[in-house]
Amino acid sequence: MAVGLNDAWSSPDSVTCKQVAASTALPAHTYGQNVVLNGQMCPYDGLYVMGRPHSVWCSSDGVSWTLKSSNAPYGPVTLVGSTVFAIGNTFSNSPFADSNDLVWKSDDGVAWRLGYQNRMQFP
């Protein structure tokens, strides 16, 4: 079984990577998309595990991390202007917790508002 790491890396060009820290306060597990919010890098939990909240951690230096939310939507995350959008479900606190086709909006990447619900299908 592979052991998860909690190291942080930085790259000015997405090609050349430099390790910022070999070990950080970030919990060691798989993260998905990252967005920059208020000058901080914020990775969103990228691994769906039944019963585990979807977390968002943020850091301005890649070493010190702060848990911003333990109930972020799970699914693709993108930043449009200064607004974060996510498509997917939530862990709790929602009557739609089992749905995968929800569009969520957040101005701070922490507090989420359900914006749209529809069944996404392609012919």
Q: What is the pLDDT of residues 36-75, one digit of tens each?
A: 888 888 888 766 565 566 788 888 888 888 988 887 877 7
Q: 102: domain range?
A: 32-117
Residue 36 belongs to a domain: yes
**Does the residue 108 lie in any domain?**
yes
Number of domains present in the structure of the chain: 1
Q: Is residue 1 part of a domain?
A: no
Tell me which DSSP letter residue 58 carries: E
Number of residues that this document lists for the chain: 123
Decide if 62 is inside a domain.
yes
In a domain, 75, yes or no: yes
- Regarding pTM above 0.85, the answer is no
Mean pLDDT, to the nearest integer, of 97-105?
69
Q: How many helices (H) and strands (E) does the chain have?
A: 0, 10
Q: Are 58 and 68 in contact (CB under 8 A)?
A: yes
Spatial distance between the Cα atoms of 40 and 35, rounded to a whole number of angstroms: 8
Strand partners, 78: 85
Is residue 78, in this structure, part of any structural domain at all? yes
* C-alpha distances out from residue 101 to 13, 37, 44, 47, 107, Å: 33, 24, 18, 17, 20
Please indicate, yes or no, if residue 17 is contained in any of the structural domains. Answer: no
Residue 90's pLDDT band, with cuts at 50, 70 and 90, is low
3 falls within a domain: no
